[in-house]
Amino acid sequence: MSGELKVSNLVVRAAASGVAIVDDVSFTIPAGRLLGLVGESGSGKTTIGLALLGYARNGTSIDGGTISIGEHEVTAATARDLRGRVVSYIPQSPASALNPSLRLRDQLLECLPADHPDPAGALEQALQEVALPTDAEFLSRYPHQISGGQQQRITIAMAFIARPDFIVLDEPTTGLDVSTQRHVLETVRKLVAEHGVSAVYISHDVAVVAGLVDEVLVLYSGKVAELGPNAAVMHAPLHPYSRRLIAAVPDVTGRRRPHGIAGGAPSPFARPSGCAFHPRCDIATPACSEAVPELQFAAPQHLVRCINVGTPAPTYQWPTVPEVPGNAPVLMSVRALEVSYGSNTVLHGIDLDLRRGGCTALLGESGSGKTTLARAIAGLREPGQGTIEFDGVALPPSVRRRSLEQLRRVQYIFQNPYESINPRRSVFDTLLAGYRSLCGKPDDADALVQQALRDAALRPDIARRYPDELSGGERQRVAIARALIVSPELLICDEITSSLDVSVQASIVELLQQLQESRSLTLLFVTHNMALVRNIAQDVAVLENGRIVEHNGVVELFAAPSAPYTQRLIEDTPGFVA
């Protein structure tokens, strides 16, 4: 079996306008090797992944180039026969990729050719490879009866069971806990090597890619920015975009601080002239806007699309985590808090103090109860027992019973900016509606909104826009502006960067730190991301199964974690130092 994948000059176009969403992409993956495909949202990663299966989304078409896997050519005519047998796909969200009304056994057997000589044997082997039970009881379960990690391993088993030559993995560990992620990545790596399969690993998580793949392709606005061996691209990136992208990744050791890239990846429909990155590039020259640079060899096997490869990168001024005196007064204190959903208690006896002007990270994996705790503090989820004191006064348990003044002082920013802003209000209207409700009619609404936008580092013209005209990062800044406009004292940030690109995440973190200092804001930063905690918080509370197992200063906690759970989290987090 030869699973070498050869892609040359792949072009995917939008049918209506003829714009190339993916433009002239070529690469080769030898059998048994992994290629990592990284880039920001909208750079065309998934479009390439789907094109490798001979598939183009509605309204787009594969318009040029050739894709071959071993001796097979992937074309519109052959794709249907090749899928599953020669090429397979592991999707981002296993929960929606598995058919909820099929038992696991049927789910897996569906992926085998009808004339397979030994389906039972293949099934057992496939499950063993992904370290799942093979007994009849497990196989007769439905997808909702197994955990998210198990679901993802089922999709991996489905992809490998028919022994394909080439696999596309589209962000398969997004949404998984670090420990589960590590198991899944090890499984993928082992299977690829054992079966001589070539694979593309699509991810926005640069740290995961750095620890997994053999070669890295950095994609920007549908074009290859840089392509080379993992170590070379990750540790000595040549393209200024790769350099900035890697600089934006938070480092779990805390030796280097994340640094964002201003602006967002351009849509293929509004690509700047010349090099698409030049408006955001820190070493751009006038020539950069004139012609699209050619992809050139910087070293054998290392391609880069930049005319200023030799120019050294400017040194960045890393911001520092603000110091908070140990004797700062307590702003909020939670005592013996318990929250239940029906008979299921998700938070047990939570005690938590937040110091004024400090940033406390609330760290936990999915299901640990961290969002429930944050919501209980904000009054969005009524606790069964316990007290929440704010500035020495007990807060009523629900927003309905809190006074407007109490509501104003504690602001909550939601995880998903696509859900937390009313799509039918303009930004101006969104910002003002909250202010009107909590603070009354403003004297000068325009000035107020403009100030809030400036505080959240947004352009003034955003006020007239509607949410669907904004990028994810801009939306999250609007949510921040909506909180800032009422001058809160405590800002609860619930996983606010988890749906954003690393480049955007880094700039949001920078913004929050500036605000923390300039307005002496107190932050409660809820996250599952260890590396991010290291770079934003002064102290960390670790939540496991609804209990706080450890609460300590960030330096002390990372140097000597006392709870076994914290130790495991730190161990399983992919380390990455550029």
Partner 1 sequence: MSATTGKSRSLLRRALSTWRMRIGLLITLTVALVALLGPRLAPHDPQKFVGMAFAPRDLGYPFGTDYLGHDVLSQFLSGGWLLLTLAFLGTILGVGAGALIGIWAGYARGRVDELLMRSGDVMLAFPQLVLALLFISITGPNLAVIVLLTGLGHAPRVARVMRGAALSVAERDFVANAAAMGMRTRTIVLREVLPNVSGPLAVEFGLRLTYSIGLIAGLSFLGLGVQEPQPDWGVMLNDNRVAFTMQPWPVVLPVLAIALITIGMNLVTDALARASAGIDRQVQG
Contacts with partner 1, residue ranges (CB under 8 A): 14-19, 21, 41-42, 45-47, 57-60, 267-269, 378-380, 399-400, 402, 404, 407-408, 411-412, 414-416, 419-425, 433-434, 437-438, 466, 468-469, 471, 482, 486
Residue 241 in 3-state DSSP?
helix
d(C-alpha 385, C-alpha 340), whole Å: 9
- Closest distance to partner 1 from the beta carbon of 37 (Å): 11
Closer residue to partner 1, CB minimum distance, 366 or 545: 366
- Give Cα separations from 445 to 241, 462, 558 (angstroms): 39, 15, 46
Closer residue to partner 1, CB minimum distance, 20 or 127: 20
- Closest distance to partner 1 from the beta carbon of 205 (Å): 13
Structure tokens at 507: 């700039």
39: left (phi over 0), alpha (psi -120 to 50) or beta: left
Element (H, E) at 167: strand 166-170
Q: Report yes or no: 524 and 352 within 8 Å, Cβ to Cβ.
A: no
Closer residue to partner 1, CB minimum distance, 204 or 259: 204
Q: What is the DSSP string of 10-73?
A: EEEEETTT--EEEEEEEEEE-TT-EEEEE--TTSSHHHHHHHTTT---TTEEEEEEEEEETTEE
- Closest distance to partner 1 from the beta carbon of 208 (Å): 16
Closer residue to partner 1, CB minimum distance, 21 or 531: 21
Structure tokens at 94: 């296993």
Measured on CA atoms in the order 496, 502, 508, 512, is the torsion positive or negative? positive
- Closest distance to partner 1 from the beta carbon of 377 (Å): 11
d(C-alpha 73, C-alpha 67), whole Å: 6
- Closest distance to partner 1 from the beta carbon of 399 (Å): 5
Closest to 6 in 3D by CA, of 164, 166, 159: 166
Residue 111 in 3-state DSSP?
coil
Closest to 37 in 3D by CA, of 200, 238, 234: 200
Closer residue to partner 1, CB minimum distance, 399 or 555: 399
- Closest distance to partner 1 from the beta carbon of 201 (Å): 15
Q: Report yes or no: 485 and 496 within 8 Å, Cβ to Cβ.
A: no
d(C-alpha 40, C-alpha 264), whole Å: 8
d(C-alpha 412, C-alpha 133), whole Å: 42
Closer residue to partner 1, CB minimum distance, 41 or 385: 41
Closer residue to partner 1, CB minimum distance, 45 or 257: 45
- Closest distance to partner 1 from the beta carbon of 193 (Å): 28
d(C-alpha 158, C-alpha 161), whole Å: 5
Closer residue to partner 1, CB minimum distance, 284 or 480: 480
d(C-alpha 309, C-alpha 311), whole Å: 6
d(C-alpha 436, C-alpha 422), whole Å: 16
Closer residue to partner 1, CB minimum distance, 495 or 550: 495
Q: Which residues pair with 352 in a beta bridge?
A: 334
User: How far from the centroid of its chain's Cα atoms is residue 371's Cα?
Assistant: 17
- Closest distance to partner 1 from the beta carbon of 438 (Å): 5
d(C-alpha 314, C-alpha 305), whole Å: 19
Closer residue to partner 1, CB minimum distance, 59 or 325: 59
- Closest distance to partner 1 from the beta carbon of 434 (Å): 4
- Closest distance to partner 1 from the beta carbon of 440 (Å): 11
Closer residue to partner 1, CB minimum distance, 259 or 375: 375
- Give Cα separations from 149 to 156, 173, 274 (angstroms): 11, 9, 43
- Closest distance to partner 1 from the beta carbon of 20 (Å): 11
Element (H, E) at 352: strand 344-355
Element (H, E) at 194: helix 178-195
- Closest distance to partner 1 from the beta carbon of 83 (Å): 21
Closer residue to partner 1, CB minimum distance, 476 or 535: 476
- Closest distance to partner 1 from the beta carbon of 58 (Å): 7
Closer residue to partner 1, CB minimum distance, 114 or 341: 341
Structure tokens at 127: 């499950």
- Give Cα separations from 337 to 330, 366, 368, 386, 392 (angstroms): 17, 19, 15, 4, 17
Q: Report yes or no: 119 and 112 within 8 Å, Cβ to Cβ.
A: yes
Closer residue to partner 1, CB minimum distance, 415 or 516: 415
DSSP state of 558: H
Closer residue to partner 1, CB minimum distance, 17 or 301: 17
- Closest distance to partner 1 from the beta carbon of 137 (Å): 34
- Closest distance to partner 1 from the beta carbon of 501 (Å): 10
